[in-house]
Structure 1
Protein backbone atom coordinates (compact mmCIF):
# COMPACT_ATOMS: atom_id res chain seq x y z
CA UNK A 1 0.00 0.00 0.00
CA UNK A 2 1.27 3.49 -0.82
CA UNK A 3 1.53 5.49 2.42
CA UNK A 4 2.62 8.76 3.92
CA UNK A 5 3.94 8.58 7.47
CA UNK A 6 3.71 11.57 9.82
CA UNK A 7 5.36 11.51 13.25
CA UNK A 8 8.06 13.16 15.31
CA UNK A 9 9.10 11.56 18.66
CA UNK A 10 10.37 8.14 19.69
CA UNK A 11 6.79 6.92 20.15
CA UNK A 12 6.25 6.95 16.37
CA UNK A 13 9.43 5.11 15.36
CA UNK A 14 8.24 1.49 15.93
CA UNK A 15 5.21 2.12 13.70
CA UNK A 16 7.37 3.57 10.93
CA UNK A 17 9.70 0.58 11.06
CA UNK A 18 6.81 -1.89 11.18
CA UNK A 19 5.23 -0.38 8.06
CA UNK A 20 8.56 -0.37 6.22
CA UNK A 21 9.40 -3.94 7.25
CA UNK A 22 5.94 -5.10 6.12
CA UNK A 23 6.74 -3.92 2.60
CA UNK A 24 4.47 -0.90 2.37
CA UNK A 25 5.53 1.79 -0.07
CA UNK A 26 6.22 4.85 2.09
CA UNK A 27 6.18 7.72 -0.36
CA UNK A 28 7.26 10.35 2.18
CA UNK A 29 7.80 10.84 5.88
CA UNK A 30 6.69 14.07 7.53
CA UNK A 31 8.30 15.15 10.79
CA UNK A 32 8.73 18.41 12.66
CA UNK A 33 11.86 20.38 11.73
CA UNK A 34 15.19 19.82 13.48
CA UNK A 35 15.39 21.67 16.80
CA UNK A 36 18.30 23.02 18.88
CA UNK A 37 19.36 20.41 21.44
CA UNK A 38 22.14 19.71 23.90
CA UNK A 39 24.55 22.11 25.52
CA UNK A 40 25.73 23.45 22.18
CA UNK A 41 22.16 23.95 20.91
CA UNK A 42 23.08 22.35 17.59
CA UNK A 43 20.14 21.43 15.37
CA UNK A 44 19.05 17.84 15.93
CA UNK A 45 16.69 15.90 13.68
CA UNK A 46 13.69 14.26 15.33
CA UNK A 47 13.79 10.54 16.14
CA UNK A 48 11.38 9.87 13.25
CA UNK A 49 13.52 11.82 10.78
CA UNK A 50 16.62 9.94 11.92
CA UNK A 51 14.84 6.59 11.55
CA UNK A 52 13.43 7.53 8.13
CA UNK A 53 16.81 8.59 6.79
CA UNK A 54 18.37 5.36 8.06
CA UNK A 55 15.71 3.49 6.06
CA UNK A 56 16.39 5.60 2.97
CA UNK A 57 12.99 7.31 3.04
CA UNK A 58 12.45 10.90 1.88
CA UNK A 59 11.63 13.33 4.70
CA UNK A 60 9.67 16.58 4.64
CA UNK A 61 9.56 18.88 7.66
CA UNK A 62 7.40 21.96 7.06
CA UNK A 63 7.33 24.46 9.90
CA UNK A 64 3.57 24.87 9.56
CA UNK A 65 0.71 23.41 7.56
CA UNK A 66 -1.64 26.32 8.14
CA UNK A 67 -2.47 28.18 4.89
CA UNK A 68 0.45 26.34 3.26
CA UNK A 69 -0.90 25.70 -0.24
CA UNK A 70 2.47 24.55 -1.53
CA UNK A 71 2.63 21.81 1.10
CA UNK A 72 -1.00 20.84 0.56
CA UNK A 73 -0.33 20.38 -3.16
CA UNK A 74 2.84 18.38 -2.49
CA UNK A 75 0.94 16.12 -0.09
CA UNK A 76 -1.88 15.52 -2.57
CA UNK A 77 0.64 14.81 -5.34
CA UNK A 78 1.96 11.83 -3.37
CA UNK A 79 -1.33 10.04 -4.24
CA UNK A 80 -1.22 8.01 -1.04
CA UNK A 81 -3.70 5.30 -0.15
CA UNK A 82 -3.49 6.43 3.49
CA UNK A 83 -1.51 8.68 5.80
CA UNK A 84 -0.42 7.19 9.12
CA UNK A 85 -0.08 9.77 11.88
CA UNK A 86 1.60 9.14 15.25
CA UNK A 87 2.38 12.08 17.54
CA UNK A 88 3.23 14.33 14.60
CA UNK A 89 2.60 17.57 16.48
CA UNK A 90 1.05 19.69 13.71
CA UNK A 91 -2.67 20.05 13.00
CA UNK A 92 -3.66 18.69 9.60
CA UNK A 93 -6.05 20.92 7.66
CA UNK A 94 -9.14 19.37 6.13
CA UNK A 95 -7.66 19.40 2.63
CA UNK A 96 -4.87 17.09 3.83
CA UNK A 97 -7.21 14.89 5.85
CA UNK A 98 -9.23 14.30 2.68
CA UNK A 99 -6.33 13.74 0.26
CA UNK A 100 -5.42 10.04 0.81
CA UNK A 101 -7.86 7.46 -0.54
CA UNK A 102 -8.44 5.95 2.94
CA UNK A 103 -7.89 9.22 4.75
CA UNK A 104 -5.53 9.81 7.66
CA UNK A 105 -5.24 7.18 10.41
CA UNK A 106 -3.98 8.19 13.85
CA UNK A 107 -2.16 5.96 16.36
CA UNK A 108 -3.27 7.38 19.71
CA UNK A 109 -1.83 6.23 23.04
CA UNK A 110 -5.06 5.87 25.02
CA UNK A 111 -8.37 4.07 25.07
CA UNK A 112 -10.46 6.79 23.47
CA UNK A 113 -12.51 8.73 24.37
CA UNK A 114 -10.48 8.77 27.59
CA UNK A 115 -7.42 11.00 27.40
CA UNK A 116 -7.77 12.86 24.16
CA UNK A 117 -4.97 15.37 23.75
CA UNK A 118 -1.24 15.82 24.22
CA UNK A 119 -0.25 13.72 27.27
CA UNK A 120 -2.39 10.55 27.39
CA UNK A 121 0.31 8.29 28.81
CA UNK A 122 1.22 10.57 31.70
CA UNK A 123 -2.39 11.51 32.41
CA UNK A 124 -3.48 7.89 32.74
CA UNK A 125 -0.81 7.16 35.36
CA UNK A 126 -1.42 10.43 37.22
CA UNK A 127 -5.13 9.69 37.47
CA UNK A 128 -4.55 6.22 38.88
CA UNK A 129 -6.09 4.44 35.87
CA UNK A 130 -5.76 0.67 35.93
CA UNK A 131 -5.42 0.36 32.16
CA UNK A 132 -4.26 2.24 29.10
CA UNK A 133 -3.94 1.18 25.49
CA UNK A 134 -3.82 2.22 21.87
CA UNK A 135 -6.65 3.34 19.64
CA UNK A 136 -6.35 3.55 15.86
CA UNK A 137 -8.65 6.35 14.80
CA UNK A 138 -9.89 7.82 11.53
CA UNK A 139 -8.84 11.44 11.79
CA UNK A 140 -11.23 14.36 11.48
CA UNK A 141 -11.00 18.06 12.26
CA UNK A 142 -11.72 17.73 16.02
CA UNK A 143 -9.12 16.94 18.66
CA UNK A 144 -8.95 13.11 18.71
CA UNK A 145 -12.70 12.91 18.07
CA UNK A 146 -12.73 10.70 14.98
CA UNK A 147 -14.30 7.23 14.72
CA UNK A 148 -12.33 4.30 16.10
CA UNK A 149 -11.06 1.47 13.93
CA UNK A 150 -9.29 -0.71 16.49
CA UNK A 151 -8.35 -0.51 20.18
CA UNK A 152 -6.38 -2.72 22.53
CA UNK A 153 -5.92 -2.37 26.31
CA UNK A 154 -2.86 -3.00 28.49
CA UNK A 155 -2.74 -2.93 32.31
CA UNK A 156 -1.25 -0.14 34.38
CA UNK A 157 0.32 -1.67 37.50
CA UNK A 158 1.59 0.03 40.66
CA UNK A 159 5.06 -0.16 39.12
CA UNK A 160 4.24 1.17 35.63
CA UNK A 161 6.18 4.27 34.65
CA UNK A 162 5.68 6.66 31.77
CA UNK A 163 8.79 5.19 30.13
CA UNK A 164 7.67 1.57 30.33
CA UNK A 165 4.11 2.36 29.25
CA UNK A 166 5.40 4.53 26.38
CA UNK A 167 7.54 1.69 25.03
CA UNK A 168 4.76 -0.88 25.37
CA UNK A 169 2.23 1.31 23.57
CA UNK A 170 4.68 2.35 20.85
CA UNK A 171 5.31 -1.29 19.89
CA UNK A 172 1.62 -2.09 20.18
CA UNK A 173 0.73 0.80 17.89
CA UNK A 174 3.04 -0.53 15.19
CA UNK A 175 1.41 -3.96 15.28
CA UNK A 176 -2.11 -2.51 15.35
CA UNK A 177 -1.69 -0.20 12.36
CA UNK A 178 -0.55 -3.16 10.24
CA UNK A 179 -3.69 -4.99 11.23
CA UNK A 180 -5.93 -2.03 10.41
CA UNK A 181 -4.40 -1.63 6.96
CA UNK A 182 -4.82 -5.34 6.25
CA UNK A 183 -8.33 -5.81 7.65
CA UNK A 184 -9.92 -2.37 7.02
CA UNK A 185 -12.28 -2.61 10.03
CA UNK A 186 -15.50 -0.63 10.06
CA UNK A 187 -15.27 2.68 11.95
CA UNK A 188 -17.14 3.01 15.25
CA UNK A 189 -18.15 6.41 16.68
CA UNK A 190 -16.53 7.26 19.98
CA UNK A 191 -18.88 7.05 22.98
CA UNK A 192 -20.19 10.39 24.16
CA UNK A 193 -19.66 9.42 27.80
CA UNK A 194 -16.24 9.20 29.42
CA UNK A 195 -14.46 11.94 27.45
CA UNK A 196 -11.39 13.31 29.25
CA UNK A 197 -8.58 15.56 28.06
CA UNK A 198 -4.84 15.20 28.62
CA UNK A 199 -3.25 18.68 28.74
CA UNK A 200 0.13 19.66 27.36
CA UNK A 201 2.64 19.27 30.19
CA UNK A 202 4.94 21.99 31.52
CA UNK A 203 7.92 21.77 33.84
CA UNK A 204 5.88 23.08 36.74
CA UNK A 205 3.64 20.01 36.54
CA UNK A 206 6.61 18.16 38.04
CA UNK A 207 6.60 20.13 41.30
CA UNK A 208 5.86 17.69 44.15
CA UNK A 209 3.05 18.76 46.43
CA UNK A 210 3.70 16.96 49.71
CA UNK A 211 0.15 17.69 50.89
CA UNK A 212 -1.01 15.07 48.41
CA UNK A 213 -1.32 11.44 49.49
CA UNK A 214 1.72 9.18 49.26
CA UNK A 215 0.00 7.28 46.44
CA UNK A 216 -0.53 10.50 44.48
CA UNK A 217 3.11 11.54 44.91
CA UNK A 218 4.24 8.10 43.77
CA UNK A 219 2.03 8.34 40.67
CA UNK A 220 3.36 11.81 39.85
CA UNK A 221 6.95 10.61 39.91
CA UNK A 222 6.14 7.54 37.81
CA UNK A 223 4.09 9.59 35.35
CA UNK A 224 6.39 12.56 34.85
CA UNK A 225 9.80 10.88 34.67
CA UNK A 226 11.72 11.55 32.48
CA UNK A 227 9.62 14.45 31.13
CA UNK A 228 9.03 17.01 32.50
CA UNK A 229 10.69 15.45 35.55
CA UNK A 230 9.66 15.82 39.18
CA UNK A 231 11.34 18.02 41.77
CA UNK A 232 11.15 19.50 45.22
CA UNK A 233 13.06 22.32 46.91
CA UNK A 234 15.05 23.03 50.06
CA UNK A 235 14.45 26.10 52.18
CA UNK A 236 17.34 27.91 50.45
CA UNK A 237 15.68 27.40 47.06
CA UNK A 238 17.93 24.52 45.96
CA UNK A 239 16.06 22.31 43.52
CA UNK A 240 16.26 18.56 44.05
CA UNK A 241 15.18 16.50 41.05
CA UNK A 242 13.50 13.24 41.98
CA UNK A 243 14.07 10.22 39.76
CA UNK A 244 12.29 7.46 41.69
CA UNK A 245 10.42 6.85 44.94
CA UNK A 246 8.86 3.94 46.75
CA UNK A 247 5.81 3.78 48.97
CA UNK A 248 6.48 3.09 52.63
CA UNK A 249 4.05 0.39 53.73
CA UNK A 250 5.32 -0.30 57.24
CA UNK A 251 4.17 1.88 60.17
CA UNK A 252 6.50 4.79 60.85
CA UNK A 253 7.14 4.28 64.55
CA UNK A 254 9.41 7.32 64.84
CA UNK A 255 7.24 9.71 62.87
CA UNK A 256 6.50 12.81 64.93
CA UNK A 257 2.78 13.25 65.36
CA UNK A 258 3.10 16.87 64.27
CA UNK A 259 5.34 16.28 61.24
CA UNK A 260 4.31 18.53 58.39
CA UNK A 261 3.94 17.12 54.86
CA UNK A 262 7.37 17.33 53.23
CA UNK A 263 9.28 16.61 56.44
CA UNK A 264 12.28 14.27 56.21
CA UNK A 265 11.45 11.60 58.81
CA UNK A 266 14.62 9.50 58.98
CA UNK A 267 18.09 8.96 57.56
CA UNK A 268 16.68 6.85 54.68
CA UNK A 269 14.94 9.85 53.09
CA UNK A 270 11.45 8.86 54.13
CA UNK A 271 9.22 11.88 53.50
CA UNK A 272 5.90 12.63 55.18
CA UNK A 273 2.93 13.15 52.90
CA UNK A 274 -0.59 14.21 53.79
CA UNK A 275 -1.52 10.56 54.17
CA UNK A 276 1.34 8.11 54.56
CA UNK A 277 4.92 8.51 53.39
CA UNK A 278 7.25 7.79 50.50
CA UNK A 279 10.98 7.17 50.33
CA UNK A 280 13.23 8.91 47.81
CA UNK A 281 15.36 6.28 46.05
CA UNK A 282 16.92 8.31 43.22
CA UNK A 283 17.53 12.06 43.21
CA UNK A 284 19.79 14.74 41.83
CA UNK A 285 21.21 18.00 43.09
CA UNK A 286 22.18 20.89 40.78
CA UNK A 287 25.27 20.27 38.71
CA UNK A 288 25.34 16.55 39.35
CA UNK A 289 23.88 13.46 37.74
CA UNK A 290 20.95 11.42 38.98
CA UNK A 291 22.11 9.02 41.70
CA UNK A 292 20.94 6.47 44.21
CA UNK A 293 19.81 7.89 47.54
CA UNK A 294 22.76 6.46 49.51
CA UNK A 295 25.26 8.08 47.12
CA UNK A 296 23.35 11.37 47.22
CA UNK A 297 23.43 11.49 51.03
CA UNK A 298 27.20 11.08 51.12
CA UNK A 299 27.49 14.42 49.32
CA UNK A 300 24.53 16.28 50.81
CA UNK A 301 22.96 15.00 54.02
CA UNK A 302 19.29 15.77 54.57
CA UNK A 303 18.86 15.29 58.33
CA UNK A 304 15.53 14.31 59.86
CA UNK A 305 13.39 17.36 60.37
CA UNK A 306 14.38 18.99 57.07
CA UNK A 307 11.30 20.41 55.38
CA UNK A 308 11.02 20.00 51.61
CA UNK A 309 8.81 21.78 49.15
CA UNK A 310 9.21 25.53 49.60
CA UNK A 311 8.17 27.21 46.31
CA UNK A 312 11.02 28.31 44.10
CA UNK A 313 10.00 29.00 40.46
CA UNK A 314 13.49 29.44 38.99
CA UNK A 315 14.30 25.77 38.55
CA UNK A 316 15.94 24.10 35.58
Structure 2
Protein backbone atom coordinates (compact mmCIF):
# COMPACT_ATOMS: atom_id res chain seq x y z
CA UNK A 1 0.00 0.00 0.00
CA UNK A 2 2.86 2.38 0.81
CA UNK A 3 5.97 3.39 -1.14
CA UNK A 4 8.60 4.38 1.39
CA UNK A 5 10.52 7.67 1.59
CA UNK A 6 11.13 9.85 4.62
CA UNK A 7 10.46 13.36 5.85
CA UNK A 8 13.52 14.78 7.62
CA UNK A 9 13.78 13.85 11.31
CA UNK A 10 11.07 11.20 10.93
CA UNK A 11 12.92 8.44 12.74
CA UNK A 12 10.24 6.91 14.98
CA UNK A 13 8.30 3.71 14.44
CA UNK A 14 4.57 4.29 13.80
CA UNK A 15 3.47 2.60 17.03
CA UNK A 16 5.46 5.07 19.15
CA UNK A 17 4.93 8.18 17.04
CA UNK A 18 3.27 11.42 18.11
CA UNK A 19 2.91 12.44 14.46
CA UNK A 20 2.54 10.21 11.40
CA UNK A 21 3.21 11.59 7.91
CA UNK A 22 1.59 10.04 4.84
CA UNK A 23 2.03 11.01 1.19
CA UNK A 24 -1.07 11.10 -1.01
CA UNK A 25 0.28 11.60 -4.57
CA UNK A 26 -2.98 11.94 -6.50
CA UNK A 27 -3.97 14.55 -9.11
CA UNK A 28 -6.30 12.74 -11.52
CA UNK A 29 -9.05 15.38 -11.32
CA UNK A 30 -6.72 18.36 -11.78
CA UNK A 31 -8.49 21.08 -13.77
CA UNK A 32 -5.61 23.37 -14.83
CA UNK A 33 -1.95 22.49 -14.18
CA UNK A 34 -1.16 18.85 -13.32
CA UNK A 35 1.72 17.72 -11.14
CA UNK A 36 0.48 17.78 -7.54
CA UNK A 37 1.19 14.04 -7.44
CA UNK A 38 4.85 15.05 -7.21
CA UNK A 39 4.16 17.19 -4.15
CA UNK A 40 4.80 14.67 -1.35
CA UNK A 41 8.32 13.77 -2.43
CA UNK A 42 9.21 17.39 -3.22
CA UNK A 43 8.12 18.46 0.26
CA UNK A 44 10.14 15.64 1.80
CA UNK A 45 13.27 16.66 -0.11
CA UNK A 46 12.80 20.26 0.98
CA UNK A 47 12.43 19.21 4.64
CA UNK A 48 16.15 18.39 4.81
CA UNK A 49 16.95 22.08 4.48
CA UNK A 50 16.07 22.93 8.08
CA UNK A 51 17.78 22.69 11.46
CA UNK A 52 16.26 20.42 14.08
CA UNK A 53 15.83 23.21 16.66
CA UNK A 54 12.79 25.51 16.35
CA UNK A 55 13.53 28.56 18.48
CA UNK A 56 10.03 30.07 18.25
CA UNK A 57 8.65 27.09 20.15
CA UNK A 58 11.78 26.19 22.15
CA UNK A 59 11.62 22.64 20.89
CA UNK A 60 13.98 20.29 19.05
CA UNK A 61 12.80 17.74 16.50
CA UNK A 62 15.16 15.22 18.06
CA UNK A 63 12.78 15.22 21.03
CA UNK A 64 9.64 14.66 18.92
CA UNK A 65 8.57 11.23 17.72
CA UNK A 66 7.69 11.54 14.02
CA UNK A 67 7.05 8.63 11.66
CA UNK A 68 6.76 8.73 7.87
CA UNK A 69 4.82 5.87 6.28
CA UNK A 70 5.74 6.91 2.74
CA UNK A 71 3.32 7.34 -0.15
CA UNK A 72 0.00 5.63 -0.64
CA UNK A 73 -0.47 3.96 -4.01
CA UNK A 74 -3.62 5.78 -5.10
CA UNK A 75 -3.87 4.91 -8.78
CA UNK A 76 -5.86 7.13 -11.17
CA UNK A 77 -9.48 6.52 -10.12
CA UNK A 78 -10.78 9.08 -7.57
CA UNK A 79 -13.12 6.53 -5.99
CA UNK A 80 -10.25 4.06 -5.55
CA UNK A 81 -8.01 6.82 -4.18
CA UNK A 82 -10.69 7.85 -1.68
CA UNK A 83 -11.10 4.31 -0.33
CA UNK A 84 -7.35 3.70 -0.24
CA UNK A 85 -6.81 6.84 1.83
CA UNK A 86 -9.44 5.67 4.32
CA UNK A 87 -7.94 2.18 4.43
CA UNK A 88 -4.52 3.72 5.07
CA UNK A 89 -5.68 4.82 8.53
CA UNK A 90 -5.34 1.22 9.66
CA UNK A 91 -1.58 1.88 9.76
CA UNK A 92 -1.85 5.13 11.74
CA UNK A 93 -2.07 4.66 15.53
CA UNK A 94 -5.05 6.43 17.05
CA UNK A 95 -2.83 8.33 19.49
CA UNK A 96 -0.84 9.92 16.66
CA UNK A 97 -1.67 13.13 14.77
CA UNK A 98 -2.01 12.34 11.03
CA UNK A 99 -0.29 14.68 8.57
CA UNK A 100 -1.03 14.09 4.88
CA UNK A 101 0.93 15.62 2.00
CA UNK A 102 -0.95 15.87 -1.31
CA UNK A 103 -1.74 15.56 -4.02
CA UNK A 104 -4.76 17.57 -5.02
CA UNK A 105 -7.45 18.76 -2.61
CA UNK A 106 -9.70 15.75 -3.26
CA UNK A 107 -7.54 13.86 -0.74
CA UNK A 108 -9.02 15.85 2.15
CA UNK A 109 -12.65 14.61 2.50
CA UNK A 110 -11.73 10.96 3.17
CA UNK A 111 -9.09 12.06 5.69
CA UNK A 112 -11.62 14.26 7.49
CA UNK A 113 -14.14 11.40 7.51
CA UNK A 114 -11.65 9.06 9.21
CA UNK A 115 -10.45 11.68 11.70
CA UNK A 116 -14.07 12.47 12.64
CA UNK A 117 -14.88 8.79 13.02
CA UNK A 118 -11.89 8.26 15.27
CA UNK A 119 -12.87 11.22 17.41
CA UNK A 120 -16.36 9.83 17.92
CA UNK A 121 -15.02 6.36 18.68
CA UNK A 122 -12.59 7.73 21.24
CA UNK A 123 -15.33 9.57 23.11
CA UNK A 124 -17.59 6.53 23.05
CA UNK A 125 -14.81 4.58 24.73
CA UNK A 126 -14.20 7.35 27.29
CA UNK A 127 -17.79 7.96 28.41
CA UNK A 128 -19.35 4.58 27.63
CA UNK A 129 -21.69 3.69 24.80
CA UNK A 130 -24.78 3.98 27.02
CA UNK A 131 -23.98 7.65 27.85
CA UNK A 132 -22.62 8.70 24.47
CA UNK A 133 -24.71 11.02 22.32
CA UNK A 134 -23.72 10.75 18.67
CA UNK A 135 -25.15 13.97 17.30
CA UNK A 136 -22.92 16.31 15.31
CA UNK A 137 -23.57 19.20 17.69
CA UNK A 138 -22.21 17.48 20.80
CA UNK A 139 -18.61 17.50 21.96
CA UNK A 140 -17.69 14.60 19.67
CA UNK A 141 -17.95 16.78 16.56
CA UNK A 142 -14.80 18.16 14.99
CA UNK A 143 -14.27 21.52 13.36
CA UNK A 144 -12.58 21.96 10.00
CA UNK A 145 -10.68 25.04 8.88
CA UNK A 146 -9.81 25.13 5.19
CA UNK A 147 -7.34 27.55 3.64
CA UNK A 148 -8.20 27.81 -0.04
CA UNK A 149 -8.41 30.33 -2.86
CA UNK A 150 -11.52 28.52 -4.10
CA UNK A 151 -14.85 27.61 -2.55
CA UNK A 152 -14.67 23.95 -3.67
CA UNK A 153 -18.44 23.80 -3.11
CA UNK A 154 -19.45 22.34 -6.46
CA UNK A 155 -21.72 19.32 -6.47
CA UNK A 156 -19.68 17.88 -9.32
CA UNK A 157 -16.96 19.02 -11.69
CA UNK A 158 -15.44 17.44 -14.77
CA UNK A 159 -17.99 14.64 -14.67
CA UNK A 160 -17.23 13.48 -11.13
CA UNK A 161 -18.47 14.33 -7.64
CA UNK A 162 -15.04 13.37 -6.31
CA UNK A 163 -13.24 16.28 -7.99
CA UNK A 164 -10.85 18.55 -6.12
CA UNK A 165 -13.39 21.31 -6.89
CA UNK A 166 -15.92 19.53 -4.65
CA UNK A 167 -13.69 19.05 -1.60
CA UNK A 168 -15.35 21.49 0.81
CA UNK A 169 -18.84 20.39 -0.26
CA UNK A 170 -17.95 16.85 0.82
CA UNK A 171 -16.37 18.06 4.07
CA UNK A 172 -19.57 19.90 4.98
CA UNK A 173 -21.56 16.73 4.31
CA UNK A 174 -19.26 14.51 6.40
CA UNK A 175 -20.74 12.85 9.48
CA UNK A 176 -19.04 14.14 12.60
CA UNK A 177 -18.09 17.54 11.18
CA UNK A 178 -19.82 20.02 13.47
CA UNK A 179 -18.15 23.26 12.36
CA UNK A 180 -16.44 24.65 9.28
CA UNK A 181 -14.82 27.85 8.06
CA UNK A 182 -12.73 28.72 5.01
CA UNK A 183 -10.08 31.44 4.78
CA UNK A 184 -8.51 32.91 1.65
CA UNK A 185 -11.41 32.47 -0.78
CA UNK A 186 -11.26 34.71 -3.83
CA UNK A 187 -12.54 32.52 -6.67
CA UNK A 188 -15.72 30.58 -7.32
CA UNK A 189 -18.63 29.98 -9.60
CA UNK A 190 -21.74 32.11 -9.01
CA UNK A 191 -23.60 28.98 -7.91
CA UNK A 192 -21.01 28.40 -5.21
CA UNK A 193 -21.47 31.91 -3.80
CA UNK A 194 -25.23 31.35 -3.80
CA UNK A 195 -24.81 27.96 -2.13
CA UNK A 196 -22.59 29.47 0.57
CA UNK A 197 -25.11 32.23 1.26
CA UNK A 198 -28.16 29.96 1.31
CA UNK A 199 -26.51 27.35 3.54
CA UNK A 200 -24.70 29.77 5.83
CA UNK A 201 -21.23 28.48 4.96
CA UNK A 202 -18.69 30.63 6.86
CA UNK A 203 -15.88 31.96 4.69
CA UNK A 204 -13.39 34.81 4.76
CA UNK A 205 -11.87 36.22 1.59
CA UNK A 206 -8.24 37.18 1.19
CA UNK A 207 -9.48 40.77 0.73
CA UNK A 208 -10.96 40.58 4.23
CA UNK A 209 -7.65 39.31 5.59
CA UNK A 210 -5.88 42.22 3.92
CA UNK A 211 -8.35 44.76 5.32
CA UNK A 212 -8.89 43.41 8.85
CA UNK A 213 -5.74 41.42 9.53
CA UNK A 214 -5.30 37.69 10.00
CA UNK A 215 -5.64 37.87 13.80
CA UNK A 216 -9.23 39.14 13.70
CA UNK A 217 -10.21 36.91 10.79
CA UNK A 218 -8.92 33.77 12.50
CA UNK A 219 -10.62 34.75 15.74
CA UNK A 220 -13.94 34.94 13.88
CA UNK A 221 -13.29 31.67 12.06
CA UNK A 222 -12.60 29.85 15.31
CA UNK A 223 -15.87 31.15 16.74
CA UNK A 224 -17.72 30.00 13.62
CA UNK A 225 -16.16 26.55 13.86
CA UNK A 226 -17.06 26.38 17.53
CA UNK A 227 -15.37 23.04 18.25
CA UNK A 228 -12.79 21.92 20.76
CA UNK A 229 -10.85 19.87 18.20
CA UNK A 230 -9.94 21.16 14.74
CA UNK A 231 -8.71 19.63 11.52
CA UNK A 232 -6.67 22.00 9.33
CA UNK A 233 -6.47 21.68 5.54
CA UNK A 234 -4.07 23.94 3.61
CA UNK A 235 -4.66 24.15 -0.12
CA UNK A 236 -1.52 25.99 -1.22
CA UNK A 237 -3.37 28.09 -3.78
CA UNK A 238 -4.76 29.98 -0.77
CA UNK A 239 -1.30 31.53 -0.60
CA UNK A 240 -0.42 34.31 -2.99
CA UNK A 241 1.64 33.08 -5.96
CA UNK A 242 4.36 35.51 -4.92
CA UNK A 243 5.02 33.12 -2.01
CA UNK A 244 3.79 29.84 -3.50
CA UNK A 245 3.86 29.82 -7.32
CA UNK A 246 4.09 26.04 -7.69
CA UNK A 247 0.40 25.11 -7.48
CA UNK A 248 -2.19 23.70 -9.84
CA UNK A 249 -4.60 26.66 -9.82
CA UNK A 250 -2.69 29.84 -8.90
CA UNK A 251 -4.83 32.84 -7.87
CA UNK A 252 -3.20 36.26 -7.31
CA UNK A 253 -4.00 38.48 -4.30
CA UNK A 254 -3.83 35.69 -1.76
CA UNK A 255 -2.68 35.09 1.79
CA UNK A 256 0.92 35.71 2.73
CA UNK A 257 3.20 33.04 4.13
CA UNK A 258 3.14 35.01 7.40
CA UNK A 259 -0.67 34.80 7.50
CA UNK A 260 -0.57 31.04 7.08
CA UNK A 261 2.12 30.53 9.69
CA UNK A 262 0.00 32.55 12.13
CA UNK A 263 -2.98 30.27 11.47
CA UNK A 264 -0.87 27.12 11.80
CA UNK A 265 0.65 28.20 15.11
CA UNK A 266 -2.71 29.21 16.62
CA UNK A 267 -4.63 26.16 15.43
CA UNK A 268 -1.97 23.50 16.08
CA UNK A 269 -2.51 23.19 19.87
CA UNK A 270 -6.15 22.19 19.20
CA UNK A 271 -5.49 20.25 16.01
CA UNK A 272 -6.25 16.58 15.43
CA UNK A 273 -4.92 16.45 11.89
CA UNK A 274 -3.37 18.39 9.03
CA UNK A 275 -3.02 18.14 5.30
CA UNK A 276 -1.10 20.29 2.84
CA UNK A 277 -2.12 19.88 -0.77
CA UNK A 278 -1.97 21.20 -4.36
CA UNK A 279 1.82 21.68 -4.39
CA UNK A 280 2.95 21.16 -8.00
CA UNK A 281 6.75 21.41 -7.89
CA UNK A 282 7.29 21.54 -11.66
CA UNK A 283 6.04 25.14 -11.77
CA UNK A 284 8.69 26.79 -9.61
CA UNK A 285 12.24 26.44 -8.35
CA UNK A 286 11.34 24.64 -5.14
CA UNK A 287 10.01 27.53 -3.07
CA UNK A 288 6.47 26.17 -2.71
CA UNK A 289 7.62 22.74 -1.54
CA UNK A 290 10.06 24.44 0.84
CA UNK A 291 7.23 26.49 2.31
CA UNK A 292 5.15 23.32 2.60
CA UNK A 293 7.90 21.54 4.53
CA UNK A 294 8.43 24.56 6.76
CA UNK A 295 4.73 24.86 7.62
CA UNK A 296 4.52 21.16 8.45
CA UNK A 297 7.49 21.57 10.78
CA UNK A 298 5.91 24.68 12.35
CA UNK A 299 2.70 22.70 12.91
CA UNK A 300 4.53 19.80 14.54
CA UNK A 301 6.66 22.09 16.71
CA UNK A 302 3.69 24.21 17.85
CA UNK A 303 1.58 21.14 18.65
CA UNK A 304 4.41 19.32 20.44
CA UNK A 305 5.30 22.41 22.49
CA UNK A 306 1.66 22.88 23.53
CA UNK A 307 1.35 19.23 24.59
CA UNK A 308 4.49 19.21 26.76
The structure with the larger Rg is 1
Higher strand content, 1 or 2? 1
Higher RCO, Cα 8 Å, sep 6+? 2
| TM-score relative to the length of structure 1 | 0.24
| TM-score relative to the length of structure 2 | 0.25
